[in-house]
C-alpha cells in the first residue's frame, strides 16, 4: 500500500512538474485572434450607443513580460460597408495612421501565483500609440489561467479614451458632417484577449503584422460596384485630405498617402470616369480663384496618372468659388470650401 501511494505521488509530481517549473512567461505567449475580441463603443445624438470592433490584430508576450498588440485600423467593423469607409478615411485616417499599438511591461511578480489562484486582477501600465500620438494609461485587467498553456486577459471595465488626447476631434467633426449627427468626444474600448504559450514568442511582433480574426470588415478584394464606388468618392471628398501650399497648386507632402489610397479605389472601379473638382473660398478675385482651382485639380490629376491611372479615366475641372459648401463668413467655413472633390461621371 505504501509503495502504491508513493508511485501515485511520483506520477502526479511528474505530471505537474512542467507547470511548476515554468515561469509565468516561459516560452512566450502568442495572441490568438480567432478567440479574442477588441471592441469600442461610440455614442451619437447624446444617448445612442453603437458597438464596433476590429477584425485584424496580432500580439505577443515575450519571456521577459514585454507585451505588444498591433491593431489594424483598416479592419474597423461597424457592420455597414460605407460606415467602415467613413471611419477609415474621415476618422482614423488610416492612409497615414494604419495601426494602433499597445505596449506594456508586465511585472512577473503580479502573476507569479496565477497557477494557484487561477485568476487575478492587476492595474496594468500601458502605452497606446494612436493617430500619431503616444499616451500612457493605467488599465485594470483580469488575467485568468485556462490551462497550462492558455491564459485570458480582459479589461475589467471599458477604457475611456478622450478623442482630443489623440488629435481625433477633427475626424469626429468630419463624421458628424458626413452622417448629420452629433458624436460624444470619447470612445469606450474593451478587450478580451486569449494567449497561448508558443515557446517561440521571444521577440516583439514586427510593426504592421496583423492576423485576421475575421475578414468581414476588411476591404473586399476585386472590383467595386458602381454604388460602392460612388459612395466611396463621396466620402473621400468629405475628408479634405488633399492640401496645397498657400496660394499655389503645389501638393502638400501629407496629401500623397491619401492620393495613393484613392488611386487604388479608382483602379477597382473599372470603366468609370472620375471627375477631380477643384474648389476655393471667396478670398481674392474670382478669376484668380478659378485659375487656382483649375491648376489644383490638374495637379491631383497628374499625380494620379503618375500612380498608374489612365488619363482617359480622369477629368480635371476647376469651379473656383462658385460652389461653396457653406457661407464664406468664417475662417472655418472658408477652410471647408477649399477642397478637392471626386465623383463618378460615367
* Least confidently predicted of 123-137, 183-197, 200-214: 200-214
Domain co-membership, 205 together with 240:
no
Q: How far apart are CA 192 and CA 200, in angstroms?
A: 22
Domain co-membership, 43 together with 167:
yes
Of 307, 225, 230, which Cα lies nearest the Cα of 264?
Answer: 307
158, 180, 212: which is the final residue of a domain? 212
Q: 15 or 294: which carries more pLDDT confidence?
A: 294
Using one digit for the tens of pLDDT, what is the confidence trace for 87-146? 999 999 999 999 999 999 999 899 888 889 999 999 999 999 999 999 999 999 999 999
CA 228 to chain centre: 21
The single residue listed with the C-alpha cell 486569449 is 194
Strands, DSSP E only, in the chain? 29-31, 37-44, 48-54, 56-61, 66-72, 76-77, 99-105, 119-130, 133-147, 150-155, 159-162, 186-197, 211-212, 274-279, 314-318, 339-344
What pLDDT, on a 0 to 100 scale, did the predictor assign at position 220?
60
Using one digit for the tens of pLDDT, what is the confidence trace for 32-84? 999 999 999 999 999 999 999 999 999 999 988 999 999 999 999 999 999 99
In a domain, 143, yes or no: yes
In a domain, 310, yes or no: yes
What pLDDT, on a 0 to 100 scale, did the predictor assign at position 24?
79
What pLDDT, on a 0 to 100 scale, did the predictor assign at position 204?
43
Could you list the residue range(s) of the whole structural domain that residue 122 is in? 26-212
What pLDDT, on a 0 to 100 scale, did the predictor assign at position 221?
73
Helix axes of 226-238 and 169-179: crossing angle, nearest 10 degrees:
130
In a domain, 248, yes or no: yes
pTM of the model: 0.86
- What is the residue-averaged pLDDT of the chain? 88
Amino acid at each position: 500500500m505504501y509503495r502504491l501511494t508513493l508511485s501515485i505521488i511520483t506520477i502526479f509530481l511528474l505530471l505537474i512538474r512542467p507547470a511548476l517549473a515554468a515561469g509565468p512567461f516561459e516560452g512566450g505567449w502568442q495572441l490568438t485572434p480567432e478567440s479574442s475580441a477588441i471592441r469600442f463603443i461610440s455614442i451619437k445624438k447624446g444617448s445612442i450607443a453603437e458597438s464596433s470592433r476590429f477584425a485584424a490584430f496580432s500580439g505577443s508576450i515575450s519571456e521577459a513580460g514585454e507585451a505588444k498588440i498591433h491593431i489594424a485600423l483598416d479592419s474597423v467593423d461597424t457592420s455597414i460597408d460605407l460606415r467602415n469607409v467613413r471611419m477609415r478615411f474621415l476618422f482614423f485616417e488610416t492612409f497615414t495612421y494604419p495601426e494602433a499599438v499597445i505596449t506594456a511591461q508586465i511585472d512577473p511578480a503580479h502573476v507569479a501565483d496565477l497557477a494557484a489562484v487561477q485568476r487575478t486582477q492587476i492595474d496594468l501600465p500601458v502605452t497606446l500609440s494612436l493617430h500619431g500620438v503616444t499616451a500612457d494609461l493605467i488599465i485594470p485587467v483580469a488575467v485568468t489561467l485556462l490551462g497550462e498553456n492558455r491564459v485570458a486577459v480582459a479589461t475589467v471595465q471599458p477604457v475611456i479614451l478622450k478623442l482630443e488626447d489623440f488629435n481625433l476631434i477633427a475626424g469626429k467633426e468630419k463624421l458628424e458632417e458626413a452622417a448629420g449627427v452629433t458624436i460624444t468626444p470619447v470612445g469606450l474600448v474593451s478587450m478580451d484577449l486569449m494567449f497561448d504559450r508558443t515557446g517561440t514568442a521571444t521577440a516583439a511582433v514586427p510593426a504592421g503584422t496583423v492576423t485576421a480574426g475575421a475578414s468581414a470588415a476588411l476591404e473586399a478584394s476585386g472590383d467595386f460596384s458602381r454604388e460602392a464606388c460612388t459612395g466611396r468618392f463621396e466620402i473621400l471628398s468629405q475628408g479634405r485630405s488633399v492640401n496645397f501650399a498657400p496660394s499655389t497648386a503645389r501638393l502638400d507632402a501629407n496629401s500623397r498617402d491619401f492620393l495613393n489610397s484613392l488611386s487604388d479605389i479608382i483602379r477597382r472601379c473599372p470603366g468609370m470616369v472620375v471627375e477631380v473638382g477643384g474648389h476655393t473660398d471667396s478670398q481674392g478675385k474670382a478669376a484668380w480663384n478659378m485659375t487656382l482651382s483649375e491648376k489644383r485639380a490638374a495637379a491631383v490629376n497628374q499625380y494620379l496618372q503618375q500612380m498608374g491611372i489612365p488619363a482617359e479615366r480622369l477629368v480635371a475641372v476647376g469651379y473656383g468659388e462658385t460652389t461653396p459648401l457653406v457661407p464664406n463668413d468664417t475662417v472655418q467655413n472658408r477652410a471647408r470650401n477649399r477642397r478637392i472633390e471626386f465623383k463618378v461621371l460615367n
